[in-house]
Amino acid sequence: MDFIDNYNKPIYSMKYIFSEEAKMQDTLQYIRSTYRQHYAHGTKQATEFIAEAGHLEGFCLGNIIKYAQRYGKKEGENKKENLMKIVHYALIAMEDKNEKEKF
């Protein structure tokens, strides 16, 4: 939970035209839910093994392309969830050097 300072409000409050902040919160909630899904059981997720093998960036970019290519084409799909998957893989692909030391 974020700290809210009700006594020292910021001078300038950002107003997002396209509700980006709310959408990012929804996406973060979706990402949190993926850590409880079937492929996340055990000590490591499959993505961690892929990262350890040195293929994280290609794996993430491949998944971004996959979800972008099939967007709107699969009957009964949740389009919003597919876009959240794209964002999730993009965030993972933004790996920094400090994070790399974990693998």
pLDDT (tens, 9 = 90+) of the chain, 103 residues, equals 567 777 776 666 778 899 999 999 999 999 999 887 766 667 788 888 999 999 999 999 999 999 999 999 988 989 999 999 999 999 999 976 555 555 5
Asked if residue 31 lies in contact with residue 84, where contact means CB atoms within 8 angstroms, the answer is yes
**What is the pTM for the complete model shown?**
0.76
Lookup result for tokens 């939970």: 1
The two three-digit tokens of residue 43, written as one number: 């000590």
Q: How many residues does the structure list for the chain?
A: 103
Count Cβ atoms below 10 Å from residue 56 Cβ, excluding itself. Answer: 20
